[in-house]
Structure 1
């Protein structure tokens, strides 16, 4: 099922992106304090 693999790749890409954004947000909040 190639489409299932595509969905999985997309989902893991989104998760990775969210992790990076979360890390940036944490750094920003740490600097503000």
Structure 2
């Protein structure tokens, strides 16, 4: 599954992305920083 994450450079976003990638999902991340 492809999942779009907003705020992917923050603490929660980074940990969420790591978990999603570990379980085999595709991740698209967007952040304004």
The higher relative CO (CA closer than 8 Å, separation ≥ 6) is in: 2
**TM-score under structure 2 normalisation?**
0.44
Which one has the largest radius of gyration? 1
Instruction: Point out the structure with the larger helix share.
Output: 1
**TM-score under structure 1 normalisation?**
0.44
